Structure 1
Amino acid sequence: MALLRLDGVARSVQLPDLTTLEILRSIDLEVEVGDHLSIVGRSGSGKSTLLNLLGLLDAPTAGRLFFDDVPLERLRGAARDRRRGRDIGFIFQQFNLLPGRTALENVATPLLYAHDRGFWRRERLAAEMLERVGLGDRLHSFPTQLSGGEQQRVAIARALVRGPRLILADEPTGALDVETGARVMALLDDIAEQSGAALITITHDPNVASLARRHYRLDQGVLTAVATASTGVTA
């Protein structure tokens, strides 16, 4: 059973002149537990819209989306929010850290909404996750005291602290230099593999995309599997 499945998913919006803009067109995709795939697309190709669908932030206008074999239309309101908060971690190009809070407090923030022991253990869990990303000595540092690479590692720790089963990384190295970005992606891939989470990287950078095991291209709303360089076989 796939963790996430899209069957003929499309997304369109109606413009003020009453014409229809098709953003995504008949997308089929299966993501297994522990999978790592990349989606490359230029600006305006529909990457942000696809990310919103994959992250259960939006619903398709056609086709069906399944998470754990449960169709998205059965997940409404609070049920969808709980599923997203528990099972999906988001990592963005802009780190979106809370400036008035320490690294520890930023990472612990998602656990404030936990309904299990995670709420009471939030500081311990946050400290352990920061240790895993190599920031065990920066727990009480504020974002302004951290480098770009360190801030991104805090953002990764925050996304992973609840143990998500699906990690969505949207241009995760876009604000970093090449060397720092490579280290951050290696770290993200390593943690995802250790935890068994599926990782989807959405990027315009072919170097970042090449780190995935399966590769896709999004162009004018159409998602196409891309042959890997090592085997020449379509992913």
Structure 2
Amino acid sequence: MSLVSVRGLEKSVVLPDGTRLEILRGIDLDIDDGSRTAIVGRSGSGKSTLLNILGLLDAPSSGLHEFDGVDVGRTSGLRRDRFRGADVGFVFQQFNLLQGRTAVENVEVPLLYARGRDFWHRRRLALEMLDRVGLVDRADTQPHRLSGGEQQRVAIARALVRAPRLILADEPTGALDVDTGRTVMELLETVATETGAALVTITHDAAVAARADVVRRIDHGVVADAVQGVAA
């Protein structure tokens, strides 16, 4: 059984002039535990909208969306929030770190919504994750004093600190130079492999897409093709 399965997924919005804009049109997609999937396509093709739906930040207009066998369209908002908090990790191009908070405090943020042991031991868990991404020595440093690559590694540590089953990365190397971007992808893949998480990456970078097991191309809201990739 797939970790995530969508069938006939559609998303549309009504514009101020009353016209309806179709963003996604009948997407079918399966994501298995431990898989590596790249989603490519031009700007405005619907990639980020699909990622937000997969990550339970947004809801489709119609279609089936299952997470671990559960039809999330039929669950309460609270249960979807719990799925997202416990099982989904997001890595964004712009890092989205909280200014005024140290690296370790940024990584702790997802654990503020945890329960029991994870909540009470959140600082230790955050420090352990910073150590895994090679930044424990920068734990007390604020984001503006970190390089772009270091900020992205903090963002990765924050995304992975709750050991999510699904990691969603939206252009994670887009703001980085080639060498730093390669290091970031290697780090993401390594930690995902260690935890058995599925990794879905949106990218315009052919080199990043080539690292995936499967490449899915979206064009005007539909899946145009599926290409089997070879990890670099």
TM-score band, normalised by shorter chain: over 0.9
When normalised by structure 2's length, the TM-score is 0.96
Q: Secondary structure at the match of 2:200?
A: strand
Are 1:74 and 2:74 an aligned pair? yes
Partner of 1:92: 92
Q: 1:145 to 1:56 in 2, by over 3 A?
A: same
Partner of 2:108: 108
Q: Secondary structure at the match of 2:227?
A: coil
Partner of 1:216: 216
Partner of 2:120: 120
Contact 2:211 2:229 in 1 (8 A): no
In 2, Cα distance between equivalents of 1:70 and 1:227: 28
Q: Secondary structure at the match of 1:227?
A: strand
In 2, Cα distance between equivalents of 1:177 and 1:123: 31
Letter in structure 2 aligned against 1:176: L
Matches within 5 A, 1:9-158: 9-158=9-158
Letter in structure 1 aligned against 2:196: G
Letter in structure 1 aligned against 2:57: L
Contact 1:59 1:72 in 2 (8 A): no
Structure 1 residue 17 displacement after superposition: 3.1
In 2, Cα distance between equivalents of 1:63 and 1:113: 30
Letter in structure 2 aligned against 1:35: S
Partner of 2:198: 198
Contact 1:149 1:184 in 2 (8 A): yes
Aligned-residue Cα RMSD (Å) equals 1.4
Q: 1:24-43 CA deviation, whole Å, 9 max, x = no partner?
A: 01111111110110000111
In 2, Cα distance between equivalents of 1:229 and 1:62: 30
Contact 1:36 1:212 in 2 (8 A): yes
Gaps of 5+ in 2: none
When normalised by structure 1's length, the TM-score is 0.95
Letter in structure 1 aligned against 2:155: A
In 2, Cα distance between equivalents of 1:187 and 1:156: 9
In 2, Cα distance between equivalents of 1:9 and 1:225: 16
Contact 1:112 1:119 in 2 (8 A): yes
Structure 1 residue 229 displacement after superposition: 6.0
Contact 2:213 2:229 in 1 (8 A): no
Contact 1:34 1:198 in 2 (8 A): yes
In 1, Cα distance between equivalents of 2:171 and 2:143: 20
* Deviation beyond 4 Å, 4+ runs, structure 1: none
In 2, Cα distance between equivalents of 1:229 and 1:106: 34
